[in-house]
Amino acid sequence: MIMNNFSINDFFINAFNFSAIGMAIVSLDGKWLMVNPALSNSLGYSQEELKQMTFQNITHPDDLELDLSNLKKLLKGEIDYYEIVKRYIHKNGCIVWGLLSVSLAKDNQNNPLYTIAQIQDITQRKRMEKEFNQNEDCYRALIESSPNAIVVHQEGKIAYANPKFSSLLKATSDDDIIGQHIIKYIHKDYHEIVKERIELLEQNIPVGVLEQKYVLFDGSVIDVEVIATPIVYMDKPAFQVIIHDITKRKEIERKLNQSQEQYRSVVENVKEVIFQTDSEGQWTFLNPAWEKITGYTIDESMGHYFYDYVYEEDREQYIEQFQSLIQGKQEYFRVEVRYLTKEKGYCWIEVYTRIALNNQGEIIGTLGTSNDITKRKEYEEELKASEERFRLLAEYSSDLITLHDVNSHFIYISPACKEILQYDEAELVGKDASLFVHPDDQNIVAEKLQTLFDTGYTVIPYRFRGKDGEYIWLECACKLLDESHSGEQKLIAVSRNINERKLSEQKLQEANEILQRLSTIDGLTGVSNRRAFDERMELEWNRGRRNSSSLSLIMLDIDYFKAYNDTYGHQGGDGCLQQIASVIKETLGRSTDLLCRYGGEEFCVILPDTKEVGAKIVGEKIRYSIEKLKIPHAGSKILPWVTISVGTASIIPTVYTSYMDLVSKADKALYKAKNEGRNCVQSY
């Protein structure tokens, strides 16, 4: 056996010399008595050099007191050993971190002989710890200052949230969020898919970016983009979620889709052909009007050259115009040509064409509109075959063409009169057109006729009485004609029925008015909302500043409303808010006073031309009216029914103040009312 060949002393010497960590025998005053090679290598001194030194000589000054203090306790018998992390100074001057364990050797009489020191070199570990801490600090700083909301949740509960997440949810502090279940802030429509994603992440299966909706503290809903990854947080499995608010982007997308849908609807239903060609003249886009006018389907026309459908006699002229456009010699042209129809005939088309450019400004083709003017052309031919005055009318062919003398008497009426106005030509010729104008439009017609005589041209929108007694909206383009052969002036008018357009304009105006009203009304209570409050305060502030008159503001808050919601539920809370809003409206005595829902359970009342005493009277009336309702409130700490705290403030606006100063005063008064026991009125 080994013990037969070596003594205990030999084992100790071998263990001492071949130990992987530093070991030393140190005198009671700190002198190195024996050091092993591992310690010598760590500190850079030879064993002989160390024996000429004390541990105090190579201990970092900042760590010496701790070491000596522990040594003193060891020598006094207060402790059996001690272990500390300390710094030694290497022979080359650098720092060596050591994990020092010290015990005391004693003789048979229990007298201290020397200390036994074990010194493990942990310099590399300390360096790694430092780098780790630096990286962790850097990472935390990045997380804290990130423009994106970041949250960490474990077992579904939020363990960490950066300031941006709290701000995104409109939370008052992190305490409102930490410990809450993450699903609480996710819209119910996304609960199932979020749970499925969490299950996948728990199996280390990557999940992609998800667009979903979050519910904020104020009840509003926003669109977000979410990226989730599994991490280890506080030594436990967790999920890090990065949330990007995309509400504005989604709104833009919705508006863009709506705009595109409206554009598509217009393109598909407009009577004019809307087209695009490439630079060679091949169709790349045609709307449904093409099929109605020519009889050719879009599918059989796409990819063919436009001039394949142009009447042969008109083809050369049209191609020359097209080439001039593609070569950049002109930006657009308008031409009247004949297009072939599938029924082997042709139709007259008025074509407006302009160049199409790419993002680099290069010409890539053409786009434009084509309008079927076949009927107009036919009528022009009829006019040419008629008397001289009808030849003058060729360029104005449209729905309704009339000719008048300078006193507005009808001289000629086109056949469209029957369809548009229900009159036969003979029923109107010789009569004064002004007799058929709506009374409310007489002045505008007179003004426009004066413009006609001054400039030679005008457009008049007005209502004309039809044969059935109903008024029809017409848009009338009038031109002054000088007939040199007779020396007389005449008026030629081209009129169109714009009833549908006017009706659409009226409906649009009504819709805009409704939307404007809705945008300033709180959806729950029916009273004015925060937007209306800001607009009205700005208005009353400016008025008060001009007139140097007092402006008062009442801010009120339902006492213990959170407890009310907890007791009766949010539906009950909504009902309570509605009752209170209704009673406050009934309490206000002036039409100029405005009640607004300021947010949550907080309401404001704007009182123009009201001084402080008046505001306090109104505030007390409101407080008493609410208390008198005796709406049950089991969660109240004041009374068994709903009460409110009221703050009032008054000010005379000046150029050196803003209405937010008044809001701040009223808010402080409300805070004072709450501190005074609630269910009271306080002023500031």
Lowest pLDDT segment from 97-111, 155-169, 307-321, 391-405: 391-405
Other beta carbons within 10 angstroms of residue 69's beta carbon come to 12
Residue linked to tokens 């309008």: 371
Collapsing DSSP to helix, strand or coil, 222 comes out as strand
Average pLDDT over residues 441-467: 91
Contact at 8 Å (CB) between 328 and 340? no
What is the model's pLDDT at position 481? 80
CA angle 382, 383, 386 (to 5 degrees): 95
d(CA 550, CA 540): 10
Contacts of 114 (CB under 8 A, 6+ apart): 25, 26, 27, 28, 33, 105
d(CA 181, CA 512): 42
Residue 133 pLDDT class (50, 70, 90 cuts): low
At the topology level, CATH places domain 519-683 in Alpha-Beta Plaits (3.30.70)
d(CA 68, CA 74): 10
In percent, the amount of the chain with pLDDT more than 70 equals: 91
- Closest by CA to 227, choosing from 247, 248, 212, is 212
- Closest by CA to 372, choosing from 392, 394, 344, 350, is 350
- How do beta strands 471-483 and 488-497 pair? antiparallel
Average pLDDT over residues 454-471: 91
Using the 8-state DSSP alphabet, how is residue 436 labeled? Answer: G
Predicted TM-score (pTM) of the model is 0.33
Lowest pLDDT segment from 249-253, 306-310, 325-329, 390-394: 390-394
pLDDT score of 2 more than 60: no
Average pLDDT over residues 408-418: 86
d(CA 681, CA 82): 67
- Closest by CA to 280, choosing from 333, 340, 326, is 326
The number of angstroms, rounded, from the C-alpha of 310 to the middle of its chain's C-alpha atoms is 50
CA dihedral 70, 76, 78, 82 (to 10 degrees): 30
Contact at 8 Å (CB) between 143 and 153? no
Residue 589 pLDDT class (50, 70, 90 cuts): confident
Count Cα neighbours of 184 within 13 Å in the Cβ-side half-sphere. Answer: 14
> Which helix (H) or strand (E) segment is 392 a member of?
helix 388-392
- Cβ burial 424-435 (10 Å sphere, 16+ → b, else e): eeeebeeeebee
Instruction: For 239-301, give the DSSP string.
Output: EEEEEEE-HHHHHHHHHHHHHHHHHHHHHHH-SSEEEEEETTSBEEEE-THHHHHH---HHHH
Q: Which of 272, 380, 540, 601 is catalytic?
A: 601
Contact at 8 Å (CB) between 605 and 583? no
Residue 1 pLDDT class (50, 70, 90 cuts): very low
- Closest by CA to 667, choosing from 524, 535, 577, 553, is 553
Name beta bridge partners: 371. 350
- Closest by CA to 374, choosing from 396, 348, 394, 351, is 348
Other beta carbons within 10 angstroms of residue 521's beta carbon come to 15
d(CA 56, CA 50): 11
The two structure tokens encoding residue 473: 């909206």
Q: Do domains 146-250 and 270-372 have the same CATH topology?
A: yes
Q: Please tell me the total number of residues recorded for the chain in this structure.
A: 684
pLDDT in tens, 611-661: 999 999 999 999 999 999 999 999 999 999 999 999 999 999 999 999 999
d(CA 603, CA 597): 4
Please, where are the H alpha helices in 430-560?
442-455, 499-518, 530-547
Residue 173 pLDDT class (50, 70, 90 cuts): confident
Residue linked to tokens 């009671």: 28
pLDDT score of 3 more than 50: no
Cα-atom radius of gyration of the chain, to the nearest Å? Answer: 46
Other beta carbons within 10 angstroms of residue 287's beta carbon come to 21
pLDDT score of 209 more than 60: yes
d(CA 397, CA 493): 10
What is the model's pLDDT at position 413? 86
The amino acid at 149: A
- Give the burial class of 579: count Cβ atoms within 10 A of its Cβ; 0-12 exposed, 13-18 middle, 19 or more buried: middle
Other beta carbons within 10 angstroms of residue 561's beta carbon come to 21
d(CA 129, CA 123): 10
d(CA 442, CA 462): 9
What is the model's pLDDT at position 679? 97
pLDDT score of 673 more than 90: yes
Domain ranges of the chain: 2-127, 146-250, 270-372, 389-502, 519-683
Average pLDDT over residues 554-565: 96
Domain 270-372 has what CATH class?
alpha beta
475 is catalytic: no
Average predicted confidence (pLDDT) for the chain:
88
What is the model's pLDDT at position 254? 86
pLDDT in tens, 427-437: 999 999 999 99
What is the model's pLDDT at position 85? 92
- Selection from 18-22, 443-447, 503-507, 516-520 with the highest mean pLDDT: 443-447
Domain 146-250 has what CATH class?
alpha beta
Residue 136 pLDDT class (50, 70, 90 cuts): low
Contact at 8 Å (CB) between 262 and 224? no
The two structure tokens encoding residue 636: 């109240």
Contact at 8 Å (CB) between 338 and 318? no
What is the model's pLDDT at position 606? 97
What is the model's pLDDT at position 253? 84
pLDDT in tens, 109-122: 999 999 999 999 98
Residue 414 pLDDT class (50, 70, 90 cuts): confident
| Helix, strand, coil % in the chain, rounded to nearest 5 | 45, 30, 25
- Selection from 95-104, 136-145, 370-379, 399-408 with the highest mean pLDDT: 95-104
Domain 389-502 has what CATH class?
alpha beta
pLDDT in tens, 487-538: 578 888 888 888 877 777 777 676 555 556 656 898 899 899 999 999 999 9
d(CA 176, CA 167): 12
- Closest by CA to 16, choosing from 34, 44, 36, is 36
Q: Which residue has the higher pLDDT, 147 or 567?
A: 567
pLDDT score of 275 more than 60: yes
pLDDT score of 394 more than 50: no
d(CA 169, CA 161): 11
Residue 390 pLDDT class (50, 70, 90 cuts): low
What is the model's pLDDT at position 396? 47
Contact at 8 Å (CB) between 311 and 297? no
What is the model's pLDDT at position 138? 53
What is the model's pLDDT at position 485? 44
Other beta carbons within 10 angstroms of residue 246's beta carbon come to 16
For the chain, helix (H) and strand (E) counts, in that order, are 22, 25
pLDDT in tens, 279-313: 999 999 999 999 998 999 999 999 899 989 999 89
d(CA 186, CA 211): 11
Q: What is the CATH number of domain 2-127?
A: 3.30.450.20
